[in-house]
Amino acid sequence: MSTSALQDWFVREVLPLEAALMQFLRRSSRNRSEADDLRQEVYVRICEAAQNEIPVPARPFVFTVARNLLIDRARREQIVSIEAVADLGALEIVADEPEPDRSVIARQQLRRLQSALDRLPGRCRQAVILRKIDGLSYREIATRMGIAEDTVSKHLREGMYVLADALHSEISETSGGS
Amino acid sequence: MMPSAQETGARAAEWLEQRERGPWGEDEQAALDAWLAQSFAHRTAYWRVSEAWNEAERLRVLERSAIDKDRVTAVPRPLLIGIAAAVAVIAVSGLAASYFFLRPAERTYTTDVGGRELITFADGTQIELNTDTVLRTRMTTGQRIVWLDKGEAFFRVKHDAAHPFNVIAGAHRITDLGTEFLVRRDPGRLEVALVEGSAQFGAGEGQRQSVPLLLAPGDDVVATAQSMSVTKKASHDLANKMGWRRGVLVFKHTALSAAATEFNRYNREQIVVSDAATANLTISGTFPANDLRPFTEVVQSVFRLRVGRSGGEIVLSRQ
């Protein structure tokens, strides 16, 4: 399995599941950053497995890995929360949800993009818009906003980070289904 | 214990931003590759943030389709209202939404005589345009196609088995299999030089299909309407062909007439060689592509030629 094929599979098949995965992981986590760490570990595990053979379909595989991770953690910590147990039972239902069709995904993505933009702090949002919509260079953005190019960098880094969470992790109003 | 997801994510965003800002050369790519190779946590974090940033490309579609033309001051407030309006409009109809998303993002890039431009795509593929070149791209999630309508370009393609990269130049098509190559299109002649990786050379759109030729590094294909040849070039010969990427022309026992033809691609002021004996003199050396003076001074002093200037032409002739 080449890295680019793995990347392609990850982006196409796994990332779209992230919102549902996070919903699942958050219920078993004490806080946001713990859920993020669990997600990171799920991704590492599925890539290690997928290196040898791409699992088809992706969805049940991803959730099985997530469940096993939670079970491992519960064993390690000797604590199993009631919610976690309940979720492990409910897993099959989550995993069997049909995939929405492409145009629905596209519309959801657009709404997510909009709400993701709204979540960016003002200056950061402005820098992202000047870069992504107006296609300006760093120098032009710096001039337009009256800031240094290094500050443009800082805003865009933050924008990239927040957009990644907002686009992949967040449940949009229409896609949650609950 | 692996670093927290937030740390890894922030680091991935730093890499992506550094690449976005440029300059992004081999050293930077090597440093990123090394970081990515350290763990799947790094790789997935980077894929995740890049994908979101690419996804945000759709903002541009909105801007083109729905936001008014006279956004001179480009402050975020009215733009965002514009986007919100566009979202509302598109959300009304699934058909409209698919139209906007599926419409291929086709773009045209051109350079003037003497110009040079480097284009970097979201997938990391780079295309460097040489002088007087017209190139069209269609880069979507499903396909990557480039038409070289005129001129010359160097390609450094990020390989993606699911989305082969195609260059169409007149009657021919080059399909990358993970590679660096040069394509030069002159009237009636096409040259493809493969630097690294492998590529297929075959028939283009609307042409009778034949068995494509598999190119290996060093292969230099020259195709005209009547003939096609493949020769093996040493790597320094290939490097010389790509001198323009550094702003220079490299000649090795090159006839003065051929050297003049090369210079004339890069400059509005044209060199004319007045007679056959002068045309057959050969020259070796490295010269700036956009400045004719060093070249004319050399031929003047070495070959004792007369260099006359008149009406946008430089005429080389015997004393």
The closest CB to that of B58, out of A3, A5, A110, belongs to A110
Between A135 and B156, residue with greater pLDDT: B156
Q: What is the mean pLDDT of residues A50-59?
A: 84
Q: What is the DSSP letter of A55?
A: -
In this prediction, residue A138 has a pLDDT band, given cuts at 50, 70 and 90, of very high
Contact A136, A130 (CB under 8 A): yes
Q: Which of B216, B155, B143 is nearest to B184 (CA)?
A: B155
Give A25→chain B minimum CA distance, Å: 14
pLDDT score of B60 more than 70: no
Q: Do B44 and A103 touch (CB under 8 A)?
A: no
The closest CB to that of B49, out of A5, A114, A164, belongs to A164
Average pLDDT, chain B: 80
Between A22 and B68, residue with greater pLDDT: A22
DSSP E strands, B16-141: 106-110, 117-120, 126-129, 134-139
Tokens of B250: 């490299």
Q: Do B58 and A113 touch (CB under 8 A)?
A: yes
Give A88→chain B minimum CA distance, Å: 23
User: Exposed, middle or buried, B270 (CB in 10 Å: 0-12/13-18/19+)?
Assistant: middle
Predicted model pTM: 0.48
Q: Would you give the distance in Å from CA B122 to the centre of its chain?
A: 14
Other residues' Cβ atoms within 10 Å of the Cβ of residue A86? 11
Which residues fall within 8 angstroms of residue B276, CB to CB, at 6 or more apart? none
Identify the pLDDT of residue B102. Answer: 38
Identify the pLDDT of residue B61. Answer: 53
Residue B85 contacts A where some CB pair is shorter than 8 Å:
no
Of the ranges A28-37, B36-45, B52-61, which one carries the lowest mean pLDDT score? B52-61
pLDDT score of B82 more than 50: no
| Nearest chain B alpha carbon to A149 | B21
Q: Which of A37, A107, A133 to mutate to test the interface with B (most CBs of B within 10 A)?
A: A133
Residue A78 contacts B where some CB pair is shorter than 8 Å:
no
Identify the pLDDT of residue A114. Answer: 75
φ, ψ for residue B268, nearest 5 deg: -70, -40
Identify the pLDDT of residue A175. Answer: 39
Q: How far apart are CA B156 and CA B176, in angstroms?
A: 10
Between A105 and B121, residue with greater pLDDT: B121
B237-279 pLDDT, tens digit each = 888 898 898 888 988 888 899 999 999 999 989 999 998 888 9
Residue A113 contacts B where some CB pair is shorter than 8 Å:
yes
B189-211 pLDDT, tens digit each = 899 999 988 888 887 766 665 66
pLDDT score of B17 more than 90: yes
In this prediction, residue A171 has a pLDDT band, given cuts at 50, 70 and 90, of low
B116-127 pLDDT, tens digit each = 888 888 778 889
Q: Do A48 and B40 touch (CB under 8 A)?
A: yes
In this prediction, residue A108 has a pLDDT band, given cuts at 50, 70 and 90, of low
Q: Do A37 and B49 touch (CB under 8 A)?
A: no
B162-184 pLDDT, tens digit each = 788 899 998 888 988 778 999 99
Identify the pLDDT of residue B198. Answer: 85
The closest CB to that of B94, out of A36, A103, A163, belongs to A103
The closest CB to that of A33, out of B6, B40, B63, belongs to B6
Residue B4 contacts A where some CB pair is shorter than 8 Å:
yes
φ, ψ for residue B34, nearest 5 deg: -65, -40
A71-89 pLDDT, tens digit each = 787 777 655 544 444 455 4
Amino acid identity for residue B48 in this structure = R
Q: How far apart are CA B216 and CA B167, in angstroms?
A: 17
pLDDT score of B319 more than 80: no
Residues in chain A closer than 8 A to B122 (CB atoms): none
Q: Do A4 and B161 touch (CB under 8 A)?
A: yes
Q: What is the dihedral of CA A171, A176, B3, B4, to 10 degrees?
A: 70
Average pLDDT, chain A: 78
Q: Do B48 and A130 touch (CB under 8 A)?
A: no
Q: Which of A31, A11, A124 is nearest to B55 (CA)?
A: A11
Inter-CA distances, A63 with A101, A176, B8, B10, B27, Å: 20, 17, 22, 25, 39
In this prediction, residue A174 has a pLDDT band, given cuts at 50, 70 and 90, of very low
Contact B42, B15 (CB under 8 A): no
Question: A residues 117-156 near B, CB within 8 Å?
Answer: 117-118, 122, 125-126, 128-135, 138, 144, 149, 153, 156
A108-111 long-range contacts (CB < 8 A, ≥24 apart) are A108/A172, A108/A174, A108/A175, A109/A167, A109/B55, A109/B58, A110/B58, A110/B62, A110/B87, A110/B90, A110/B91, A110/B97, A111/A172, A111/A173, A111/A174, A111/B87, A111/B91
Tokens of B12: 């991935």
Q: How far apart are CA B174 and CA B10, in angstroms?
A: 38
Q: Do B162 and A8 touch (CB under 8 A)?
A: yes
Residue A39 contacts B where some CB pair is shorter than 8 Å:
yes
Residues in chain B closer than 8 A to A138 (CB atoms): 21
